Structure 1
């Protein structure tokens, strides 16, 4: 097993405990990333469905707005100069807010009206109804355009977030977790080998001590045999001496 296949650590009980904690943390992080990816995917599909609907409706609304503008110009003539003269500031504005989905910030655009209608009297002489209809159609088109921009921005942000989350989850699943597991297996193998070596060493020490004890006993027996004694003879001689004293008494 090469060093690239596992984490370079010294095999010890402390390292084993640390690796087990790291394995548990990596597994928990992987589960959280999977849950985050699932939540983002649900929101992604919702935004995609809404974006498709908005684009479909956008085509219809823009077609209707263009046709209503043609009607208004036919009925009231070219009224664009009058509209431009009456407009000083933008009345339809867009503001942005942030929406949080599983830790991912999504921009949301909202349309709001700032001030009154400065060209509400346009077309009062003739073509007023057609101009009002055209204004309502283009207002609806602008609302859908802002909604579509919000959906597309969220779509791009969610797509990038899902890709990044899946990359992290795959990195943990296929790189980090196997390395930690291989490291734990390496530490367990080294500790088992160390225990076997320690057991063999103790066994050899005991065997050596037993050999030394047997050698010492053999040497003592040889010395006693050279003196014409055995191990039990000193006790017998002491007993015989005590019996003779008792007889003499």
Structure 2
């Protein structure tokens, strides 16, 4: 069976016609809702894509400034790597997650926050304090941008997968399910119409046969009357008008 002729295997009846109409209405409603969901997700997807591009451009500028600050700090204060590592007791910038609901899709969002004080605030007292402060500020901005970029890219990938699934469902309903139901409705309607035509033709034939029998009876009656027969002689006999049967004697 070709795809154009494919339909649901169902017995054509009035109940089946009502059922298919209900299913068609539900499929059209589902298609409309999924289409709206896809449009909403696509709008958010494009907005996130724009933010990702903007954040990456900004990230490049910040990392460049941070790299220059590191070079200036090493020139002014020497190698401070060991000093910083010894001063840091635990991470100050931490990340927490929350969920953002977009058209029924939960997107993970990462947020940065600072916990505790500056554990290496005394670093650079001897020399290079200004450069170290600038270095800390630039790398703090870079870390915050990295967290934002990670959040945007995670949401981007999640939305991309959901949009693909939603669009597949929309296309399946639009190009497979709805046409299949419509073909089934057309088939049921044509079968019911054919039955009505057959029933009409049968009733018409019955009426025609009755009319022919009546006309034949009237014609025969007129012929008998023309021959001089009485009306009661040509009336139809019933079982009560039959002659009395003679008794049968057994000897």
Q: TM-score range by the shorter chain?
A: 0.7 to 0.9
Worse-matched range after superposition: 55-64 or 19-28: 19-28
In the other structure, the counterpart of 1:156 is 157
In the other structure, the counterpart of 1:72 is 73
Report the secondary structure of 1:109's partner residue: strand
Q: Is the counterpart of residue 46 in structure 1 residue 47 in structure 2?
A: yes
Distance across 2 between alignment mates of 1:189 and 1:78 = 88
Distance across 1 between alignment mates of 2:226 and 2:55 = 114
Report the secondary structure of 1:5's partner residue: coil
Distance across 2 between alignment mates of 1:17 and 1:233 = 59
Report the secondary structure of 2:43's partner residue: helix
Larger helix proportion of the pair: 1
In the other structure, the counterpart of 1:189 is 190
In the other structure, the counterpart of 1:165 is 166
In the other structure, the counterpart of 2:13 is 12
Worse-matched range after superposition: 157-166 or 130-139: 157-166
- RMSD across aligned C-alpha pairs, in angstroms? 2.2
Distance across 2 between alignment mates of 1:221 and 1:46 = 96
Unpaired runs of 5+ residues, structure 1, are 235-249
In the other structure, the counterpart of 2:97 is 96
Paired residues in the alignment total: 233
Distance across 1 between alignment mates of 2:231 and 2:37 = 84
In the other structure, the counterpart of 2:237 is none
Distance across 2 between alignment mates of 1:207 and 1:59 = 94
Q: Is the counterpart of residue 129 in structure 1 residue 137 in structure 2?
A: no
In the other structure, the counterpart of 2:35 is 34
Distance across 2 between alignment mates of 1:224 and 1:60 = 121
Distance across 2 between alignment mates of 1:78 and 1:61 = 22
State the 1:95 CA deviation: 0.9
State the 1:220 CA deviation: 5.6
Q: TM-score, normalised by structure 2?
A: 0.85
Distance across 2 between alignment mates of 1:76 and 1:37 = 55
Distance across 2 between alignment mates of 1:72 and 1:128 = 8
In the other structure, the counterpart of 1:142 is 143
State the 1:219 CA deviation: 5.7
Note if contact 1:98-1:106 (Cα within 8 Å) is conserved in structure 2: yes
